[in-house]
Amino acid sequence: MKKLFSMVFFALILVLAACGSGDEDNNAGGDNDGDNAGGEGAQIQLGTGSTGGTYYPLGQEIANILTDNVDVEGFSVSAISTDASVDNLSRIGRGELELGMTVHVPAHEAIEGTGAFDGTVIDNFGFMGHIYPEVMQVFTLESTGIESIADLKGKRVAIGPPGSGTQTLAKQILEAYGIGEGDYTAFQEGFGDASKKLQDGQVDASFGILGLPSSAVDELQAATGEVKLLEISGEELASLEETTGYEEFEIPAGSWEWLEEPVTTLSAYAILVGSTDLIDEDLGYEITKALFENAGDITHSQGQHITKDNALNGLGDLKLHPGAERYFKEIGLLD
């Protein structure tokens, strides 16, 4: 009996030892815990946007640049499709993402607990650099008979996915024109799906905060031959500039071959932010350096804006990620 007990006890010890060893091996391989951020094997995620917008394809290239150039053994970045700005900031706040792309305006709202974040403060992120200028593009088709944003009352309107900067601003623009949420049928679509629905006659107009010129808009023009951009101007424009943090922007004639006249709208900045819980200073430094030292390898048209000269555009009152701050001081952008 003693011999049997000894054998069972010894077997139990071996099982427990094996379990403990397995846990250690898993942790050594890298995870998303803040304690391991910056260590060997760091595998992190970059939140982008819908697949039909600018964030997703550009984010994939940024992820590849970082994976290839961050000097940390086993480091990699995966770009994932999300609902863009507000969603990315919210996920960082919940500890679900390490990096995110966002319009700078929602980022300011997050730290203030205003706008889309009304009553909820998210401040566990830091600015890691400007990506490109973002332009609100409101478009329809000539066949809808829509001439202005004021005509969208009673229409079917794609306002962007939930948790996106596009949706937040779209609602503000419509409200500036006296169109409340019950005055139109809202479609909460990513830009690609919205374009398809517009082409198929399922929606009448669509909003999108996108890079300029947007290839998706050009593709819609190629498919339909009748894309029309709607202008934001006059008192409504002035009111939106005062209340949203976005600024007047003129889309130049010729931005697409078919655009014959300039169109006034609103613009902001797309920026990269990083979790201050999950990315430590050393890794933040390596990420920022890798991006701005190698951005010339990005083939997406908006990659041309990722330069050291533009790096602090959109910073405003946002706090810098400690690693980004160290890099920007190193290259003379900060004192």
248-294 pLDDT, tens digit each: 999 999 999 999 999 999 999 999 999 999 999 999 999 999 999 99
Is there a contact between 270 and 100 (Cβ–Cβ < 8 Å)? no
- Domains of the chain are 39-131+270-330 (3.40.190.10), 135-268 (3.40.190.10)
For the chain, the average pLDDT equals 88
Q: Which pLDDT score, from 0 to 100, does residue 41 have?
A: 60
For the chain, percent of residues with pLDDT exceeding 70? 88
What pLDDT score was predicted for residue 5?
40
* Tokens describing residue 206: 């669509």
What pLDDT score does 40 carry?
Answer: 53
pLDDT along the chain (335 residues), means of 10: 40 37 31 45 91 92 98 95 95 98 95 93 98 95 97 97 89 98 94 92 95 87 96 97 92 94 96 98 98 98 95 95 98 96
pLDDT at 23: 33
pLDDT digits (tens, 9 = 90+) for 234-250: 999 999 999 998 999 99
Q: What is the pLDDT of residue 116?
A: 87
Please, where are the H alpha helices in the chain?
A: 2-28, 55-69, 85-93, 104-112, 165-176, 191-199, 215-224, 234-244, 281-294, 322-330
pTM summary value: 0.78
Q: What span, in angstroms and rounded, lies between the C-alpha atoms of 189 and 203?
A: 10
